[in-house]
Structure 1
Amino acid sequence: MVAIGAQARVAGLSLAGVGVLVAEDPEAVRRAWQSVSDEVTLVIVTPAAAEVLSQTQLQGTRPLVAVMPE
C-alpha cells in the first residue's frame, strides 16, 4: 500500500505502515505513479493528486485507488 500526494496530507500514513510518495506538483504525481511497484495493490491519493491522474488510472482494478476526502 502506498500514498501519493502533498507531504502535509500523506506523511502521517507512514505511521500506519503505508509507503509514502511525496508529490507536491503534477509532474511529481506522474513520476510517483509510475514508480509504484506492480506488487502494490492499493494506492491512496490526495484529491489534488487524483486531478492529475487519468480516469483509467483511477478506475482500474489493479492497483485499487482510493481518493482521500477533502
Structure 2
Amino acid sequence: MPELRRAGVAAIGEVARIEGYALAGVAIRPAEDPDAARRAWDALPSASGVVILTPAAAGAIGARRGERLTTVLPA
C-alpha cells in the first residue's frame, strides 16, 4: 500500500479575517500589509498543500499563487 501523506492547510492575511480558521487546525500566518504577506508566503513549509488567502494577501502575492493550491476569501 502506498504511503499517504497529509498536506497541511495555511491561511495568510489580516488577523481579523483568518483567526477563526485556527479552530479547524489551519496554520495561521498573520499579514497586515503586502510585505508581510509576501514574507509569510515565502516562509510556508513545503507541507502546506492548500493556502487560504484574504483578497489583500492574494493581491500582494500575485502570480506566485500558482506555486500552490490556493483559495481567496470573498471581499
TM over 0.5: yes
Once the two structures are TM-superposed, the CA of residue 38 in structure 1 deviates from its matched residue by 0.8
Q: Percent identity?
A: 43
Following TM superposition, where does structure 1 have runs of at least 4 consecutive aligned residues deviating by more than 2 angstroms? none
Q: What 5-or-longer segments of structure 2 have no aligned partner?
A: 1-8
- Counterparts of 1:54 and 1:11, CA distance in 2: 22
Report the equivalent of 2:22: 14
Query: Alignment partner for residue 55 of structure 2, among 34, 47, 70?
Result: 47
Give the length in aligned residue pairs: 67
Pick the structure with greater CA Rg.
Answer: 2
Measure how far apart 1:59 and its partner are: 2.8
**DSSP-derived class of the 1:54 partner:** helix
Structure 1, unpaired ranges of 5+ = none
When normalised by structure 1's length, the TM-score is 0.89
TM-score by length of 2: 0.84
- RMSD (CA atoms): 0.9
- What does residue 58 of structure 1 align with? 65
